[in-house]
A and B are shown apart, each in its own frame.
Chain A
C-alpha cells in the first residue's frame, strides 16, 4: 500500500514569493492534516480536513496561508507571500477518519521550505 505522497521534497524561494505544496493521502483515508515542523520541535497542526471540509483551521495564518482539498482526496497548501520565518518542514498526514479519537495518523516525507 502506498503511503502519503508529498511534493516537492525541497523548495527554496526568495521572500515575498508564493509557494505551493501538494499532498496525496493514503487511499481510503478521509482525514488529511497539514502540520508545520520547526527544527527541534514537534509538528504543529495547521489545518485538518474531513473529506473536503476544513474542520479545524484555527492555527492557519490566514493572511498568507491557504489550503484546499477540492475532491476530498489531494490537497494543496499555499503560502503567499512567503516570509523568512516560514522556513520549516511542511508535513502532510492522513488517517482513516473513523469516529472517535483512535485515529492513527501516518505522515508523508514532508517538504523542506527555505525562504531566503
Chain B
C-alpha cells in the first residue's frame, strides 16, 4: 500500500464547476498536510496547507481534513481553465520530509 494515494485522473470538469480532489494516507501519525499544484514542465507550487480536522478556505480553494478517516481533499470552486494542472497531495509524518502522492490531473473544459 502506498503511503499517500491519489486517483491519477484525469478529472475533467466544466468551467465554473466545483472540482473535488481526494487523497488518502496510511500513517495515522501524520500531522500536517499540503496541496501542491504542478503545471506541465514546472515545479510544484504550494497552494494549501492544513493541520487540524475540518475545513480551511483560501479564496476559491478549500482543503478538508478528516484524520479519523485518514482523508484529505481539495475543493476548487468556480474552476477555470487555468486551474488545469496536476494536484499533488503531500503528507508530513515527522519521520521524514514530505511524502507525496502521484498526483491527480485536472482538466477544466472551457
Contacts and interface: CB of A to CB of B under 8 A. Distances in A.
Contacts of B98: 43, 45, 105
Contact of B45 (A35, A43, A103, A107): A107
A91 interface: yes
A101 B91 CA distance: 10
Contact of B102 (A41, A58, A101, A105): A41
A81 B62 CA distance: 45
A48 B42 contact: no
Nearest to B49: A104
Given A41-B102, A48-B97, A105 B46 contact: yes
Shortest 4 CB-CB contacts between residues of A and residues of B = A42-B100, A101-B31, A107-B43, A45-B97
15 contacts: A35-B97, A40-B103, A41-B103, A42-B100, A42-B103, A43-B88, A56-B97, A89-B43, A91-B43, A101-B51, A102-B32, A102-B49, A105-B34, A106-B46, A109-B43
Contacts, number: 59
B42 A109 contact: yes
A89 B43 CA distance: 9
